[in-house]
Amino acid sequence: MYLIVGLGNPDKQYERTFHNVGYIAAGDVAEALGAKFKKKECEASVAEAYVGGEKVIVARPLTYMNNSGRAVKQLMAKYKIPEENLLVIYDDYDLPKGKIRIRAEGSAGTHNGMRSIIGETGKTRFPRIRIGIRDSEVNIPIIDYVLSEIRKEDYPLFAEACKKAAEAASDFARGVNIEAVMNRYNQK
């Protein structure tokens, strides 16, 4: 069983913000796996699919970014998800906009959603897909930037990045080894 979590904020006002690219990518994962977000449980909106007989849960926490770990911890406990079968997709200010980077494990870095997940679960050895959001032309405080709306001219770039992240997550859900996923999707 796999759990794929896209981080974001649940309110409509955040729908097209940089901080919600994880939510957008989770929607792309669900679509790729033929699943729909039909239920709410464990403080998350959840879509379920079966891939090669294996259950895959795609989730969007409804707890707001800074408390994402509550939903992840509850889902992991309910479905007995092993740490290595959790994959988290989220925005990363340290990467240029539109770039994706996959890691097999690691720290939270400066991301509050990841801090919450690691703090709540006590786990760090799970894969993650980071979608770059930094725009070198914009010079405003990070907190204001991540909650600002993606510019219309950048929609295609972020749509492509989210689709690529969803492809990588779908491969992971199909049982492809994370190192192979990294080799295929990490952009030089």
Are the C-beta atoms of residues 30 and 57 closer than 8 Å to each other? no
Rounded CA-CA distance 45/37 in Å is: 6
Rounded CA-CA distance 172/160 in Å is: 18
DSSP state of 126: S
11: helix, strand or coil: coil
111 is catalytic: no
| Sheet-wide strand order for 37-41 | 37-41, 44-51, 54-61, 2-6, 86-96, 128-134, 100-103
Catalytic residue among 6, 17, 19, 64: 19
Bridge partners of 5?
A: 59, 88
Cα distance from N-terminal residue to C-terminal residue, the chain: 31
Are the C-beta atoms of residues 98 and 134 closer than 8 Å to each other? no
Which tokens go with 94? 């340290």
Active site residues: 19
